[in-house]
Amino acid sequence: MLEKAICISGGLSVFKVSESVSFAAFNNEKPYTIMTNTSFLSQLGIENQNSGAAIGGHWIRTKGQSITSFSPVDGKSIAEVTLATKEAYDEVINAASAAFNDWRMVPAPKRGEIVRQIGNALREKKDPLGRLVSYEMGKSLQEGLGEVQEMIDICDFAVGLSRQLYGLSMHSERPLHRMYEQWHPLGVVGIISAFNFPVAVWAWNSMLAWVCGDVCVWKPSEKVPLSAIACQKIVKEVFEANDINGAISGLVIGDASIGQHMADDSRVALVSATGSIRMGKSVAAAVGKRLGKTILELGGNNAVIITEQADLDIAIPGVVFGAVGTAGQRCTSTRRLIIHESRFDEMKQRLAKAYSQLRIGDPLDESNHVGPLIDKQAVAIYFSAIQQVLDEGGEAIVPGGVMEGGGYESGCYVKPCIYEMKRHYPMVCEETFAPILYLIKYKEIEEAIAIQNDVPQGLSSAIMTNNLREAELFLSQKGSDCGIANVNIGTSGAEIGGAFGGEKETGGGRESGSDAWKAYMRRQTNTINYSRELPLAQGIKFDL
């Protein structure tokens, strides 16, 4: 096995990355050789980084502890990053607050021009950034590149939006008065993102916030710090080229305490938090206590209903991708399959056959379907969930397990698995961030919808059917209670043009498209009196 040593200056350590690793196929354990090339790190300028806190292009030297970013691909350390301290956090927030005073006065279309240039910079860096996302997080290369494409797409969306921040004009009940509403930027937007989408969720928030006139401070997951550092370097170059104060983009890499500081901080007008339900409830309580604003995009326990009239040739790939894509670590991953009793046995057989053809291995090898879980803690949670499923009476259709042997030394590669369950089993209501799929049988469509809705989460949902009545019922007021409801496509793969988010314990927030931009601005109603009188409300008169 060849190894390549790369020296990193400052607070980042020397690390070694495997260039040639042997992996095995899931279906027959036959070894094959793939290549992992880490030149993308130098292309992104990572080797010169030594701090986890930044104000635009200025990197703050902090006295915080160091963490090591490990790749779940091969278990090797990539680099060390010094975490932001409370003092560094305050420095970033203060700089952002000051920068807001100037940035909000820049006309929105000109703010859009800066975002347009960021989109072009991302196009130039798409390949190395996508490879870094794949290597640091563990998702497939196709998904890593796709995540960067989402960033580019939201830039394009935001550029158009910069000329469409519309208010309404309304008729006043008073003569010779004009009444209308307009939207103003909020101020500092704090962004807390999760490991599973290391860069896209930040872009969803920051690009919209920037065209709205806000400034952003980003706290990424400390499990994927290098992806965040790469993004900060990319936007820094655009700001400098346009003589823009880089403090409109701040970065604070830290543990949960930094997120808590952000939630408690009255200088942060809006906190957009993506992650677990537990984390979201903590953020909501802290921000709510100071009457701040939040966008919460939390857990998902997403289901696909397979009806008696479903086209299984469409359903199978949609379900498999939804269940095993990103190794089941998407908030929109398919976790429950609610199948009509007449199609249940056929679905079991076809799913088992499809799963036998999955290839598990280095996600940078495009011939593989499934990469690793993020770390060994995630593997432990995976095994704990399976044990609970078996204890409750779940029946294995495709059993789980960890991949062993050459190429799987990181210990983070697990087998996508399927278990037949009853709707009342407690684990059916739990979200496990792993490729575990539950199959549940139903008789009537109303029962299927009730099962779909009978969980605390409400993010994404889907129905596979060629029956128009079933499809319309699913989309009606009596249908899915999720923020996303699809017909004849899976639960994952949302487009940026639509607002993204869910209900119930998913948090109720909306990001990305449609009119999600309104969450980043404050509404103001204006009335102008251009008469020579001052009529009072409700006809009240004062003799003065």
Residue 7 bears catalytic tag: no
β-strand pairing of 460-464 with 302-306: parallel
Q: How far apart are CA 281 and CA 472, in angstroms?
A: 33
From the CB of residue 268, how many other CB atoms can be counted at a distance below 10 Å? 24
Q: What tokens appear for 356 in the block?
A: 């036998």
Sign of CA pseudo-dihedral 276, 282, 287, 289: positive
- Residues, the chain: 544
Cβ-based neighbours of 28, under 8 Å, separated by 6 or more: none
- Cα–Cα–Cα angle for 408, 410, 413, nearest 5°? 55
- Report the run of H or E that residue 113 belongs to, with start and end: helix 108-124
Q: How far apart are CA 423 and CA 425, in angstroms?
A: 6
Say if residues 512 and 272 touch (Cβ distance below 8 Å): no
- Cα dihedral 109, 115, 116, 119, rounded to 10, equals -160
HEC secondary structure over 285-321:
HHHHHCCCEEEEECCCCEEEEECCCCCHHHHHHHHHH
Cα 263 to Cα 272: distance, rounded to the nearest angstrom: 10
CA distance 183 to 173: 23
What is the helix, strand, coil percentage profile of the chain, to 5? 40, 25, 40
Q: What CA–CA distances, in Å, run from 125 to 120, 200, 256? A: 9, 14, 30
* Annotated catalytic residue within 155, 212, 331, 412: 331
| DSSP symbol at 487 | E
Rg (CA), the chain: 25
Element containing residue 142 per DSSP (H, E): helix 141-161
DSSP SS3 for 62 = coil
Which one of the listed residues 150, 222, 297, 430 is annotated catalytic? 297
Confirm if 483 and 299 have CB atoms less than 8 A apart.
no
What are the beta bridge partners of residue 67?
81
Cβ proximity of 265 and 283 under 8 Å: no
Q: Answer for the pair 214, 200: CB distance below 8 angstroms, yes or no.
A: no
Neighbours of 321 (CB within 10 A): 17
Whether the Cβ atoms of residue 354 and residue 320 lie closer than 8 Å to each other = yes
Q: Is there a catalytic annotation at residue 150? A: no
Which residues does the annotation mark as catalytic?
Answer: 297, 331
